[in-house]
């Protein structure tokens, strides 16, 4: 009822515009997805539907998907473990150096991933086993995503209410570790969850940096995607995109839902 009334009040031109924009954005998506399911893209649906491209992608690139998710999870974990104490320190230090450090920390976000990648290769390229492992890509992702955690969590720590909470814990006799674990971290949990989710998402889709850092044996999903687009039939590339959607979207939704639950639990 309410929705219907709302719709009627909605100006017609606005509705049309919204529909057009939506169509504009969804069409390439739909085309790309159907391209991965037809026998021959140039003949379109007339050539019949098939899952053989999906199977081919799964065989050729299935491991990239697994590695992407592994790296993204580890990256989220590492950035939270390293970033939260760092964020606390930054939020509680009033010195000029701390502000400068905070600025420096955001550089990897501003600097093109290619440049960061090159810098990493120049420094660590000589350590062959490290260079050839997925660990190398993981390090790159951590460098790139850490600022998101530090920035988000640090501003949560700087909240005036939180300063009072910490003081309250101190007056009750809580030492540093106790109040960090028992009071402060739970209080900034929504920020931690949000930033971890952000890191996971960024890591899964990261291409620039990863493209510089990968080797033929260490490929993540976006790199594999680029590879398939460049070297395979268009149907294979499209099937790859489809697999990406099938796996990553539900996962992201699930994570969002979990984050929402946690935020509800810890929110004031």
Partner 1 sequence: MELERTSVKILQCAKTYSDGTRGLLPSSLDVHPGEVLALLGPSGCGKTTLLRLIAGLEMVDRGGVIQFGQQDVTYLPVERRQIGMVFQHYALFPQMTVQANIGYGLRIRGASPQELKRVVGELLDLVQLNGLEHKRPAELSGGQRQRVALARAVAVRPKVLLLDEPLTALDAKLKVTLRDEMAELLRRLGITTIHVTHDQQEALAIADRLAVMRSGRIIQVGEGEALYRHPKHMFVAEFLGRINRLKRTPQDIANHTVTIAQATVRCPQGLWPELFVRPEDIELKPYDPHLPVATLLQRSFLGDRIHYRIDVAGQGILTAEAHRDSPYLAGDRVSFTIATEHFMPCENDQ
Residues that bind partner 1 (CB under 8 A): 161, 164-165, 167-175, 178, 182-183, 186-187, 189, 265-268
Residue 149 CB, nearest distance to partner 1 (Å)? 20
Closer to partner 1 at the Cβ: 45 or 168? Answer: 168
CA distances from 262 to 85, 154, 193, 221, 258 (A): 20, 19, 8, 29, 6
The residue to which tokens 């017609």 are assigned: 12
Which CB sits closer to partner 1, 85 or 186?
186
103/109 Cα distance (integer angstroms): 11
- Residue pair 155/197 in contact (Cβ under 8 Å)? The answer is no
Q: What would the DSSP string read from start to end of 48-64?
A: -B-SHHHHHHHHHHHHH
Task: Count other C-beta atoms under 10 Å from residue 252's C-beta.
Answer: 14
- CB nearer to partner 1: pick between 166 and 235: 166
Which is nearer to partner 1, 19 or 172 (by Cβ)? 172
Shortest CB 173 distance to partner 1, Å? 5
Nearest CB to partner 1, comparing residues 11 and 175 = 175
Q: What is the number of other CB atoms lying within 10 angstroms of the CB of residue 265?
A: 10
Least distance from C-beta 178 to partner 1, angstroms? 6
Cα–Cα dist 252/69, whole Å: 11
């Amino acid at each position: 009822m309410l929705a219907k009334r709302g719709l009627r009040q909605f100006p017609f031109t606005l509705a049309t515009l919204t529909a057009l924009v939506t169509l504009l954005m969804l069409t390439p998506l739909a085309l790309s997805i159907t391209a991965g399911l037809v026998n021959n893209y140039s003949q379109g649906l007339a050539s019949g539907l098939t899952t053989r491209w999906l199977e081919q992608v799964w065989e050729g690139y299935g491991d990239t998907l697994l590695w992407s998710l592994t790296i993204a999870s580890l990256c989220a974990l590492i950035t939270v473990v390293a970033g939260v104490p760092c964020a606390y320190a930054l939020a509680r230090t009033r010195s000029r150096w701390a502000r400068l450090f905070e600025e420096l920390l955001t550089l990897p976000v501003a600097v093109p991933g290619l440049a960061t990648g090159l810098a990493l290769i120049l420094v660590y390229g000589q350590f062959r086993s490290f260079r050839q492992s997925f660990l190398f890509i993981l390090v790159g992702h951590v460098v790139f995503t850490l600022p998101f955690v530090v920035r988000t969590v640090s501003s949560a720590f700087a909240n005036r209410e939180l300063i009072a909470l910490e003081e309250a814990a101190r007056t009750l006799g809580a030492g540093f570790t106790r109040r960090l674990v028992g009071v402060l971290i739970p209080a900034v949990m929504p920020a931690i969850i949000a930033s971890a989710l952000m890191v996971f998402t960024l890591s899964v889709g990261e291409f620039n940096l990863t493209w510089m850092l990968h080797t033929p044996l260490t490929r993540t999903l976006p790199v594999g995607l680029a590879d398939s687009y460049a070297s395979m039939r268009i149907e294979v590339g499209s099937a790859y995109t489809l697999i990406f959607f099938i796996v990553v979207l539900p996962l992201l939704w699930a994570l969002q839902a979990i984050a929402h639950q946690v935020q509800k639990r810890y929110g004031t």
